[in-house]
Amino acid sequence: MTVIKRNGTEVPFDITKITEAVRKANETVEENNRMTPTQIQRIAECVELSCMKMGRAPSVEEIQDLVEYQIMAHGAYEVAKNYVTYRYTRSLARESNTTDEKILSLIECCNEEAKQENSNKNPVVNSTQRDYMAGEVSRDLTERILLPPDIVKAHREGIIHFHDMDYYAQHMHNCDLVNLEDMLQNGTVITGTLIERPHSFSTACNIATQIIAQVASNQYGGQSISLTHLAPFVDVSRQKIRKEVEAELAEIGADPGEEKVSHIVETRLRNEIRRGVQTIQYQVVTLLTTNGQAPFITVFMYLGEARNEQERADLALIIEETLEQRYQGVKNESGAWVTPAFPKLIYVLEEDNVQEGTRYWYLTKLAAKCTARRMVPDYISEKKMLELKVDKNGEGHCYTCMGCRSFLTPYVDPETNQPKYYGRFNQGVVTLNLPDIALSSGGDVEKFWKIFDERLELCHRALMCRHERLKGTVSDVAPILWQYGALARLKKGETIDKLLYGGYSTISLGYAGLYECVKYMTGRSHTDPEATPFALDIMEKMNAACRGWKAQHNIDFSLYGTPLESTTYKFAKCLQRRFGIIEGITDRGYITNSYHVHVTEEIDAFRKLEFEAQFQHLSPGGAISYVEVPDMQDNLEAVLSVMRFIYDHIIYAELNTKSDYCQVCGWDGEIEIAEDNGKLIWKCPRCGNTDQSKMNVARRTCGYIGTQYWNQGRTQEIRDRVLHL
């Protein structure tokens, strides 16, 4: 068993440190109030047993809480008082410098929590360390100076989560839906260099990757682009290639006929499309942005966006090549084909591709084949989006999210009375810990709603801090975003304020642990018909709060099904610290993401998607559902059945398959999770390899694929998942 120290480093559990600490506290009191050596040993052993039951590495603070409790349980109140006083004195001393130890542990790569904070960041490389170091300084400034003390306290206690606090000191925002069309068609500027409208598809792809990198370095969340915006350049290349072919044929005096000329042109065009798509894939995978990770980019594939039949046919060519290349994967350092984390792909299911015999059914079959092997694409239902994402003119719209799940709300430009999605963004997120509300209420429904209202207001104030931090930001801080088309074309020196109001951008109230909240309050899973109404009441209450705040401030607050990664572990630890171990509620190292069915609950894929669809509709700021499946490469018909069900029932969903590779023995089946001395590790079932640097593991984390491993809480959650198919 290991212990997480305050600076994030992980060390072996040592029971003698507990006995020594209690012995020292014991010696500070009068002899008649002291405990016996046997009692001290029992306290240490009870603490050790409690830590082992956690099934994860406990923190020093958690161990000290347990020690305190055990001293009290033995009736040694004077010893307990002195022990608490000592802890308090030490905490005051530590608060005089909150960053040095953490930064030093980052540099030495021994900060275990930082290593596992983001499953797509390699904590060893300099760029990631630099970002983490800057983040620690930013977080320190934010907690000490920039945020109100009660919000900081609530964040530390896990009552709320103020997302991306390490970027708050800067005037940065969350997610973007990049207006690639504007930048390609009208030109842009990258690091002071004018980039004009490209004259070929391959050049357009090259420019797109540069835009992606620049955008990623100027915000901290996800971003999305649409392949539709590249489609017009296919015909630009086609016409260019035709002229070249005709010139070559004229030079040698040949006339093979129009059919042969067209065949040569289309063959060369296909080669250019292949190179262009490869540029996007390999550039994204190999780029490291200023925050030390590959750009968190989503690529949207929607035939319905094409404006004419030629563009639609050309878009189909790009989609086909994108799926083919993703199916193949990328080579790792050993030369084996593996699954990359990015770009994330989203494929829209629509009338022309969802049923056998439809025009683009072949693309849907290819998408299913790719999903079975590489976990992407994910799927959006055009049918459900048009039904549920309706603007003020009564028109439904289908569009992509801004990352793993963050969706914009429908918006009509007041100047043109036309819908607008590309060029919009999200200001930030604050997440509400729902199980904490339930546990704080003690199961009393009246008290639950009272605390709920108080916590909502706390989130409201925290979100307004995010908004106020962005207010007054001048466009010069990120020209690629605000001046050169990614999000806007503002003047130099102009503030972004007008983009923060009226629904142009969103700001998100997140929520987590709906399952645990409902289970504690009702004794039942929220899938139980008797408990579902209470779960829906919670959702309606949060949406009503967002509507009220929107009316008050003219800011588009929207409810967001939070994708917890490291925070699922943080919330779980905070709940255990505050309320102890409660079976079925706080007895794991994680809490459930947003509205999801608990990972251990037996439920089939179709019933799960149908049940969660009602919660997606009530999460307009973003949500995604998934089904956990085994290796489906030899059962594509089942994959297609799930995809057809998605089309008819839910906005946005994915299939969680596995895609692993052991570099020691070449095993390409599932790498397993095993327990070793109280810690969860990854282990090759064929050769027993446990060296994470010699294996490739890809798992869906919370809407996106992670490839750099996870903290103990998230690893436990991955291990606990049951299959839905």
Catalytic positions are 174-175, 402, 404, 406, 426, 560, 565, 703
d(Cα 174, Cα 221) in Å, to the nearest integer? 5
Count CA atoms closer than 13 A to 251's CA, side-chain side.
6
In three-state secondary structure terms, 581 is coil
Cβ 59 vs Cβ 3: under 8 Å: yes
Cβ 213 vs Cβ 287: under 8 Å: yes
Take residue 633 and report the two structure tokens written for it. Answer: 């490469």
Count CA atoms closer than 13 A to 347's CA, side-chain side.
33
Q: Is 55 left (phi over 0), alpha (psi -120 to 50) or beta?
A: left
Cβ 377 vs Cβ 333: under 8 Å: no
**Residues 428-460, buried b or exposed e (16+ Cβ, 10 A)?**
bbbbbbbbbbbbbbeeeeeebeebbeebbebbb
In three-state secondary structure terms, 675 is strand
439's enclosing H/E stretch is helix 434-441
Cβ 143 vs Cβ 157: under 8 Å: no
Find residue 9's DSSP bridge partners. Answer: 111
Best CA proximity match to 21, nearest among 77, 87, 101: 87
d(Cα 51, Cα 55) in Å, to the nearest integer? 8
In three-state secondary structure terms, 705 is strand
d(Cα 47, Cα 42) in Å, to the nearest integer? 9
DSSP character string of 516-559: HHHHHHHSS-TTSTTTHHHHHHHHHHHHHHHHHHHHHHS-EEEE
DSSP character string of 328-368: H-EE-TTS-EE--S-SEEEEEE-TTTSSTTSTTHHHHHHHH
613's enclosing H/E stretch is helix 605-617
Residue for token digits 């997120």? Answer: 429
Helix/strand number for the chain, H first, E second = 24, 24
Best CA proximity match to 211, nearest among 496, 486, 598, 576: 486
d(Cα 38, Cα 92) in Å, to the nearest integer? 32
94's enclosing H/E stretch is helix 77-95
